């Protein structure tokens, strides 16, 4: 599958095809019969032949381009950038020309199988170019340059050029507000040069989307969910309204603790939170400030980051441990080539795109990860996340090319994180990372849950911010001169956070987050963070678990593994509600599982914040 977004590569071309919604008038194939009028036999025969050729050509192109993209992402040089730009342009041209060719067939008269593939062919290009001569080349050059600018970005701090990993470590560990502000602002000096090319890219890609029959690219992205784009937006609103109260409570509690630590001058007790105090470069995961916000209740006596080090774990052992979780569920081990070809740690001798990704280079067996793994809890989670992509890719490898993909992109992101939710104290004991004597007692549950909430609940509005901002940019609602203000308006509205100081003219802060220059749609992570709890709850029920959800681990459970694999094997061959139903018994995405998971924590937080003025009074953003 030429799915060159994050699940496979950093270059912004996804011929990932994920839906059944028609470009202008979306059709929900879960409820609509596409074959009411018997199609002309000739049309079907022609469409079948066209599709066979299209899948073959895309598959060949994918094999070729993936290797070029891998070479660039694991060794950024002028040459590899040029080769990647060329391969990207070639792949875009092919994808666009096939999508345009497919217009000769009337989707509504084709048999459902063929209609589904035809639809995926049309809506699945992440950054489409119009067929105007030169457009695909210009677009590909821009996306490759954006990617390389981000990948090689550095900031000179105290006389040393620091990479994003090094700057991130300071944001995670420093408790000096001046240092935090300097480093936070420093990383954002990397992105202003991206602003003009980004605006040009939006212009070209929108022309591409329009040529394919969509009003703008945001609508094309939203057409990849087996329903009309407007309906999908409503779904997102519905899910957010389910989980928003969780976030508001966590925000209120965290702000209170930050105010206690830093005082009113640094973090006032009311209003938004200062973004650089939250332990993450983008304030998307707050687990690094656990020590600052921890509860007064008893907590676990161990720290997973420290423990991994004490037990002699290195990056490879972390990945082996992740693999062992999957094999404990009945999945076949990773192939030898995974170990030979993956990039598991940052190479010393060259520039690489460090942002973690998982690749399916030949759409068959050549799966790999690319990570700059460090021995800590965060990367232990990320290892499971990335392996989730690889095991999904292997599970659907026998599907037709256009179905070698997630049921929707949120499924792809949720597989590994769902496994990660089973990294419980009991599991850590089973694999020897902690002793029986260190098993946290029941009264440590609040503290354990807070640690997970700082990763998972804090993330939800961030994910909506990224694509909320981007949809407005792509639809033309936000003009280039307003990019940065619109970004901070969304950050304030949804996350209740503000920058540590005034932003300079020319700032392009969205560009300092990988997925903006990398052109990876971000709604997928919001969906994943909701659905991974749905998967977890369903799995724990299948396992007959009766305790609290956060203590449940499905490690070693072959029955759950078999049912999970059955969903994974489907790939994108059926509308996503079918896949969801096969594992969870429900056809709807639903936030009630994450709400249930954190229920004991929310009771605690509400009590702790009862004297606070929660919320941050942001003016609503239209
Ligand atoms: O980009 C990723 C993965 C690769 S798909 C490492 N994630 C998002 C991010 O880092 O912003 C996982 C969580 C959200
Ligand atoms: Zn991912």
Please, which pLDDT band fits residue 34 given cuts at 50, 70 and 90? very low
145 φψ region: left (φ > 0), alpha (ψ -120 to 50), beta (else): alpha
Query: Is pLDDT above 50 for 35?
Result: no
Binding site membership of 184 for ligand 1 (Cβ less than 6 Å): no
CB atoms within 10 A of CB 352: 18
Question: Residue 240 C-alpha to ligand 1 middle, in angstroms?
Answer: 19
Question: Residue 409 C-alpha to ligand 2 middle, in angstroms?
Answer: 9
HEC secondary structure over 15-61: ECCCCCCCCCCCCCCCCCCCCCCCCCHHHHHHHHHHHHHHHHHHHHH
**Would you call 386 a catalytic residue per the annotation?**
yes
What rounded mean pLDDT belongs to the chain? 93
What is the reported pLDDT for 39? 56
Phi, psi of 542 (to 5 degrees): -60, -35
Q: What is the mean pLDDT of residues 588-592?
A: 98
Binding site membership of 51 for ligand 1 (Cβ less than 6 Å): no
Question: Residue 386 C-alpha to ligand 2 middle, in angstroms?
Answer: 6
Binding site membership of 390 for ligand 1 (Cβ less than 6 Å): no
Q: pTM of the predicted model, to two decimals?
A: 0.94
**Would you call 408 a catalytic residue per the annotation?**
no
Atom of ligand 1 nearest to the CA of 513: 11
HEC secondary structure over 294-352: CCCCCCCCCCHHHHHHHCCCCHHHHHHHHHHHHHHCCCCCCCHHHHHHCECCCCCCCCC
Binding site membership of 372 for ligand 1 (Cβ less than 6 Å): no
Q: What is the mean pLDDT of residues 562-576?
A: 98
Q: What is the mean pLDDT of residues 466-481?
A: 98
Binding site membership of 356 for ligand 1 (Cβ less than 6 Å): yes
What is the reported pLDDT for 12? 32
What is the reported pLDDT for 30? 35
Question: Residue 532 C-alpha to ligand 1 middle, in angstroms?
Answer: 14
Q: What is the mean pLDDT of residues 458-487?
A: 98
Q: What is the mean pLDDT of residues 356-379?
A: 97
Cα separation, 80 vs 76, whole angstroms: 6
The angle, 0 to 180 degrees and rounded to 10, between the axes of the packed helices 459-475 and 445-456 is 10
What is the reported pLDDT for 618? 56
Residue-wise pLDDT tens digits, 510-568: 999 999 999 999 999 999 999 999 999 999 999 999 999 999 999 999 999 999 999 99
Question: Do 553 and 426 meet the contact criterion of CB atoms below 8 Å apart?
Answer: yes
**Which DSSP category does 441 fall into?**
P
Read off the tokens for 465: 């911010």
Q: Exactly one of 249, 374, 386, 493 is catalytic; which is it?
A: 386
Please, which pLDDT band fits residue 46 given cuts at 50, 70 and 90? very high
């Amino acid at each position: 599958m030429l799915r060159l977004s994050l699940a496979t590569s950093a270059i912004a071309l996804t011929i990932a095809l994920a839906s059944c919604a028609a470009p202008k008038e979306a059709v929900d194939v879960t409820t609509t019969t596409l074959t009411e009028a018997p199609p002309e036999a000739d049309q079907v025969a022609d469409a079948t032949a066209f599709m066979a050729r299209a899948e073959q050509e895309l598959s060949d192109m994918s094999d070729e381009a993936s290797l070029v993209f891998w070479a660039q992402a694991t060794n950024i040089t002028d040459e590899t950038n040029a080769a990647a730009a060329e391969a990207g342009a070639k792949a875009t041209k092919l994808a666009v020309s096939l999508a345009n060719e497919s217009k000769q067939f009337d989707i509504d008269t084709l048999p459902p199988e063929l209609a589904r593939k035809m639809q995926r062919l049309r809506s699945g290009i992440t950054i489409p170019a119009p067929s105007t001569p030169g457009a695909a080349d210009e677009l590909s050059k821009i996306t490759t340059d954006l990617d390389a600018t981000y990948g090689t970005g550095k900031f000179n701090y105290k006389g040393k050029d620091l990479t994003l990993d090094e700057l991130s470590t300071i944001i995670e560990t420093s408790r000096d507000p001046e240092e935090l502000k300097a480093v936070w602002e420093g990383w954002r000096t990397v992105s202003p040069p991206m602003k003009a090319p980004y605006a040009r890219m939006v212009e070209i890609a929108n022309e591409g989307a329009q040529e394919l029959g969509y009003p703008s690219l945001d609508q094309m992205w939203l057409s990849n969910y087996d329903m009309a784009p407007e309906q999908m937006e409503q779904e997102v609103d519905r899910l957010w309204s389910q989980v928003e109260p969780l976030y508001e409570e966590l925000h209120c509690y965290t702000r209170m603790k930050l105010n206690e630590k830093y005082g009113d001058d640094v973090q006032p007790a009311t209003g938004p939170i200062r973004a650089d105090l939250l332990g993450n470069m983008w304030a998307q995961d707050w687990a690094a400030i656990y020590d600052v916000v921890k509860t007064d209740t008893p907590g676990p006596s161990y720290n997973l980051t420290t423990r991994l080090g004490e037990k002699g774990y290195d990056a490879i052992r972390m990945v082996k441990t992740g693999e062992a979780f999957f094999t404990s569920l009945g999945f076949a081990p990773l192939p030898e080539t995974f170990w030979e070809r993956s990039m598991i740690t940052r190479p010393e001798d060259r520039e690489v795109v460090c942002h973690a990704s998982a690749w399916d280079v030949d759409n068959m067996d050549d799966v790999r990860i690319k990570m700059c793994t460090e021995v800590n809890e965060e990367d232990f989670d990320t290892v499971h996340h990335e392996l989730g992509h690889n095991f999904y890719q292997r599970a659907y490898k026998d599907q037709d090319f256009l179905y070698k993909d997630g049921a929707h992109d949120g499924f792809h992101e949720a597989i590994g994180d769902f496994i990660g939710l089973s990294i419980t104290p009991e599991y850590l004991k089973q694999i020897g990372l902690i002793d029986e004597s260190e098993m946290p007692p029941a009264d440590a549950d609040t503290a354990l849950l807070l640690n997970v909430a700082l990763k998972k609940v804090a993330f939800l509005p961030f994910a909506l911010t990224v694509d909320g901002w981007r949809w407005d940019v792509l639809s033309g609602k936000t003009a280039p001169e307003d990019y940065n203000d619109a970004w901070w308006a969304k950050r304030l509205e949804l996350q209740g956070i503000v920058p540590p100081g005034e932003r300079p003219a020319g700032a392009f802060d969205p560009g300092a987050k990988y997925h903006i220059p990398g052109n990876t749609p971000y709604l997928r992570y919001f969906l994943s963070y909701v659905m991974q709890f749905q998967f977890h709850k369903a799995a724990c029920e299948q396992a007959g678990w009766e305790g609290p959800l956060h203590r449940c681990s499905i490690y070693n459970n072959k029955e759950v593994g078999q049912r999970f694999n059955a969903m994974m094997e489907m790939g994108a061959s059926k509308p996503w509600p079918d896949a969801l139903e096969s594992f969870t018994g429900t056809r709807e995405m639903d936030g009630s599982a994450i709400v249930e998971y954190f229920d004991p924590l929310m009771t605690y937080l509400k009590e702790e914040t009862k004297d606070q003025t929660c919320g941050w009074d942001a003016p609503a953003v239209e």
